[in-house]
Every structure is written in structure tokens, then in C-alpha cells.
Chain A
Amino acid sequence: MPTSADTLTEARRLRDLFAAKGAEVVKADVLQPAGTLLDLYGEDIRARAYLTSDPLRGEMVLRPDFTVPVVQMHMETHADPARYTYAGKVFRKQETDETRANEYVQVGYEVFDGQNPAGADAEVFAAIAEGLADLPVRAATGDIGVLMAAVRGLRTTEARKAALLRHIWRPGRFRALMKRFGSGQVTPARAALLAADDPFTDAGADIGLRSRGEVEARIDALRADAAAAPIAAEEIALIDAILGLRETAPNVLSALRDIAVDMPAIGDAVSGMDARLDALTAQGVDVSTLEFEGSYGRTSLEYYDGFVFGFYATDRPDHPPVATGGRYDALTAHLGQGRAVPAVGGVIRPDLALGIRAC
């Protein structure tokens, strides 16, 4: 669908607004190498991105977002702090709802700042909010970092923590893992395998790349897991309490402080949230009415690992968000081959913003 002149005008206005805040205007190729994105997102992106092949460059993808190319570009210059803005189309297949656009303009604001993460979070949120000023939108916020800190603080094995952290973004599997780690039970078939002198008695021929040694290593890991104490019910209840939080940000902060008494591991993340609320207030955001959900951001593509937010049309909660954003420190570590730069960013969809302005 051609982008309307109004949308382009609005996109330019937003980009200029962000540039006026000191952001460097950057561009990214429409065709991106697919390898990085596929490695990062796996099959989820294959379902959503337009893949094509180039005889010389291999598998390419129509840019599904700007974040990855902007991070890659930043990693080559590594100025700190740095601010970027961009406006351009992204392309996403819509598998189920054909009324949703499959190509649309995004205008983004990304901040790389290792000195003051709370300030950077607030700066991005406030910039996006300013871009949407006067529109009938409500903001939803969350903090994946609190949940990750809580998982890291569980009194259980590192292997279990790693398994849970890997599935932060898949709520169903996360819940199933919590249940299993909390039960202290294994199925009879599994118990028999772990007790067997030779687990390979009935095994077929060794075929495929996964070696006998890898199977043995996993059996060792399963034995170690079966020997470990179950995660305490109280700790599971604390995780559930964090996930169930849904209140104004100050009330959530207070509830998290209560939880931190029993789970000191989330202390730093809670202090970080406190500092962020102060920074938001300093940016002129009224945090007393700001919504916070403990599980917000868990079903998006898995790169947000801290502050997360979205802006929704007040009277159209069924519509896609007008703007989204969040912190993605781990993504920069992944793309920077271990060299992480704390980063946070947000994008606005000018077409959706205009749509609700017209109402």
C-alpha cells in the first residue's frame, strides 16, 4: 500500500522532533542480510519477515525493523553516549489478520548511554510521549529486568535458572518449567532411565549429528536435576506475585519493595525502577497514573530485557500499539560479539497516530 502524503509528513515531523533532541539522523538498507536476524529470532522471524535470496549475498530479508541495523552501525562507531533517529518503512507478513498493514513507516529514537540507564529510559519514553502529545493514548509499562533478577535470585541450580531465563518470553513454557522445578517429581519412565545402569540398552543406532556423548551429558544433567531440591513454593509464589502485578507504577514499586524483603536479589532492579520513576518525573511524566504490568513485554520479540513500554489508542485497545519501545542491552552484547552497550529505544507508527488523531 502506498504511504499517504500525510503519513510521510507526520514521519518527517517526528524525525525532526527527535533530531532536535540531539539525535543523529541515520538510514538503513531496505534489504538486510538475513543471517543475523534468523540467528537472533529463529523461526518466529521467518514467519513474519519477507525473505528472499540474492545470488551473491545469499539469503536477504526486507528490513523487519531498524533496531538491528542501527545497533550494528553503532557498534562500529561506538560513541557513548549516542542518539539516533530514523524514519522508514518496515515489512512484516501478517499471517492471520489481513486488515493489518504488512508494510508501514516507523520513526524511531534510540539512545546508547552507559552512564545513566534510568535517565536514558525516561528520555526515550518522554520523547515518544512528546511525539504523541495531545493524542488519545494510554501508556502501558513493564520491566523485564525485574523478572530476570527474580529468576536469577531463586535458590536453585544455575541450570534451572538458565532454562527459566531462556523462556522469559514464552509464558506457557516458563510456567510449565516453574511447575516442574517446583514439583520434585519425574515421570516413571524418566526415573527408570535415570536409574538404568546402561540407559542405551534399547537405543537404536547412533544416527545424526547429536553424538552419544551429548546424550550422556544430558542424562548427567537430568540426574543432577532430579537430585536437586525443588524450588520452594514460597519462591514460586513470589514470581507469580511479580507476574501478577498490575497497578500504577508507584503502587507497583511499593509492592516490589515488599517482595524484595523476601527476595533481596531483585533489590537492584527495584532501585533501578525507583530511579527511572524519578527520571520520568523530571521529564514531566505524571508517574502517579502510569500503568505498570509485571508481565508486560513478555510476548514481543525477545530482545527487550529491561524497561518496556507501549502506547495504545484509548478507545481502541484491540488495535496494534501506536508506539512501542524498551531496553535491549543483551541485543547489543549479542551483536557486538560480547561488547555490550546499554541501549534503549522506541518507535512510533505515524500512520496509526494520524488514524487516531482523525477520530
Chain B
Amino acid sequence: MLKLGVPSKGRLMEKTFDWFGARGVGLRKSGSDREYAGAVDGIDGVELVLLSAGEIPRELAAGNIHLGVTGSDLVREKLANWDAQVAELAPMGFGGADLIIAVPQAWVDVSTLDDLDAVAAAFRRNHGFRLRIATKYHRLVREFLREQGVADYQLVDSQGATEGTVKNETAEAIADITSTGETLRANGLKILDDGLIHASQATLFRGRRRDWTDEQRAKLKALQMVLGI
């Protein structure tokens, strides 16, 4: 049996069902709408597991599911050395969102990471602490800023309403997911020209664990044939 993990609610679930449906594999919730059980039509030996998109990376890495649909950002954020633990089978063309760095529009002197870095140095001098960047994507943001050579900042955790942290003076800048930028603008923020950390989309992943049975490997091949990926 090959276990396929799919987000358990919302547009991400519907779009995933549509994507598989268009390729001849029917996914549906079984039982009542509130129940997190699923059924698969069109191919044998594949079991649908509905769970939170944020848990799918961890479950893939642990081997509790074999395939999973989740955002490419979540896999990179939640798994160290992600590409040693999971592999991308197919980008799915929806759920697109960019992880970006944004600063107040009032910072007319800042449009690049180079500016942000210079401002961070001055901010630390003036205020006695490191410039705060609010985010829930700690790993991705830290790796990006390290690669880009930005110093004198600190990450502060924000699990929601991140765009409001600057106005509330709990952060000076943010790193968050955006698709249209509308919420950012409404909160007086702008995206840095070179502040794109990762362009995310819903992606079908497989786990890389070695303990797959031959039957599971054959089943994956069969599924890939049906899906045409």
C-alpha cells in the first residue's frame, strides 16, 4: 500500500483533487464532510491520507506517508537537508506564493538587501539591539540572509498577522508569504527588489526512505504512468 498525504481542507485540497482528477486518479473525502478519511478511484493500492499541509513534510521524512502534496516552501522550511529526505515528483501549478522580505514603504532609502544590511548596522548602533525581522520561516530566511551576507539582524517568531508586526513595533521588517502583495501594501509595507527568498507552489513529493517494499516501488511507477509524470 502506498500512502498519499493530501492537505485536509480548503482550496489546497480542492485543487489537489482537481489536479489528480484531470489525470485520471479520483481523490475524494469519504463519509461526511467533517471526517478526515479519503478514497482513491482509478488505481489500486494507493491510500489517501488527509492531514494538515504543515505536517506533510515531517510525515514524509518519517516514512509515515510515501507521497505527499504540500507547498515547496514548507518542505524547505521544515526539513533540514530537505532534498536528502524527499524528492520533488511534480510541481502542480497552483498554490503559488512567494516568500519575500518586506520593509516599511516609509523607508524610501531601502530597496535592496544591500540597503537593508546598511540600515541594520545603523539601527543596531542607534537602538542598541539588532533589527528585528518577523517570520515563521526561520530556516529559509536565515539561510537566505547568510548567503546574501546580511548582518546585524535578528529573527523574531511570528506565527500569524506578521504584516502587522511593524506597525505594532514588535519588528522592523518581515519575511512572509504573499501571492498578490495586497496585504503588504495595506499594512504600509513594500517588497525588496531582490528580496525573493523562494517562489513556492503546491508540489507532489515522495519520501526518500530506503525501506520501501518492491511492491510500493512498483506502485509508484504505476501511479506515475497514470499521472503522466
Are these two chains actual partners, yes or no? yes
Binding site for B on A (CB under 8 A): 38-39, 42-44, 46-47, 95-96, 98, 163, 166-167, 170-174, 176, 180, 189-190, 193, 199-200, 202-210, 212, 214-215, 217-219, 222
Cβ distance B172 to chain A, nearest Cβ, rounded Å: 5
Q: Is B169's CB within 8 Å of the partner chain A?
A: yes
Q: How far is the CA of A173 from the CA of B130 in the complex (A)?
A: 19
B residues with CB within 8 A of A: 80-81, 104-109, 111, 114, 117-119, 121-123, 126-127, 130, 142, 145-155, 166-167, 169, 171-172, 188, 190
Q: Are A215 and B81 in contact (CB under 8 A)?
A: no
In angstroms, how far is the closest chain A Cβ from the Cβ of B118? Answer: 7
Given contacts A173-B149, A214-B122, whether A200 and B108 have CB atoms under 8 Å apart is: yes
Interface centre among A47, A171, A190, A207 (most CB of B within 10 A): A207
| Contact A166 B121, beta carbon cutoff 8 Å | yes
Q: Which of A163, A172, A208 has the most CB of B within 10 A?
A: A208
Q: Is the CB of B108 within 8 A of A199?
A: yes
For residue B150, give the distance in angstroms from its CB to the closest CB of chain A.
7
Question: Contact: B153 with A218, CB < 8 Å?
Answer: no
A-B CB proximity, top 8 nearest: A173-B149, A204-B105, A170-B149, A204-B188, A208-B166, A218-B109, A207-B167, A206-B106
Q: A193-B109, A204-B106 are in contact. Are A210 and B123 (CB under 8 A)?
A: yes
Contacts of A204 in B (CB 8 A): 104-106, 188, 190
Q: Give the shortest distance, in Å, between A167 (CB) and chain B (any CB).
A: 6
Determine whether the beta carbon of A215 is less than 8 Å from that of B149.
no
Provide the residues of chain A in CB contact with B171, threshold 8 Å.
Answer: 208
- CB-CB < 8 A to A214: which residues of B? 122-123, 126
Total A-B pairs, Cβ < 8 A: 104
Provided the pairs A43-B145, A44-B146, A219-B109 are in contact, do residues A207 and B166 lie with their beta carbons within 8 angstroms? yes
Q: List 23 A-B contacts (CB under 8 A).
A: A42-B130, A42-B154, A43-B153, A43-B155, A44-B146, A173-B117, A176-B114, A189-B111, A190-B111, A203-B108, A204-B104, A204-B106, A204-B188, A205-B105, A205-B188, A207-B106, A208-B106, A208-B166, A208-B171, A209-B169, A210-B172, A212-B106, A218-B122
Cβ-defined contact, A215 with B109, below 8 A: yes
B188 CB, min distance to chain A CBs, angstroms = 4
Collect the chain B residues with CB atoms within 8 Å of residue A172's CB: 147-149
Within the assembled complex, what's the spacing in Å between the Cα atoms of A158 and B92? 52
Output the nearest chain A residue to B133 by Cβ-Cβ distance: A43
Contacts of A205 in B (CB 8 A): 105-106, 188
Contact B109 A163 (CB under 8 A): no
Q: How far is the CB of B202 from chain A (nearest CB, A)?
A: 26
Known interface pairs A96-B81, A219-B109. Does A210 touch B142 (Cβ–Cβ under 8 Å)? no
* Distance in angstroms between the alpha carbons of A172 and B148 in the assembled complex: 7
Q: How far is the CA of A288 from the CA of B145 in the complex (A)?
A: 40
- Nearest chain B CB to A332 CB, angstrom units: 20
Report the minimum CB–CB distance from A101 to chain B (whole Å).
16
**Set of chain A residues within 8 Å of B107, measured between Cβ atoms:** 210, 215
CB distance from B82 to the nearest CB of A (A): 10
- Contact partners of B149 in chain A: CB under 8 A: 167, 170-174, 176
Give the docked Cα–Cα distance between A327 and B155 (Å).
30
Cβ–Cβ < 8 Å partners of A43 in chain B: 142, 145-146, 153-155
Q: Is there contact, CB below 8 Å, between B151 and A38?
A: no
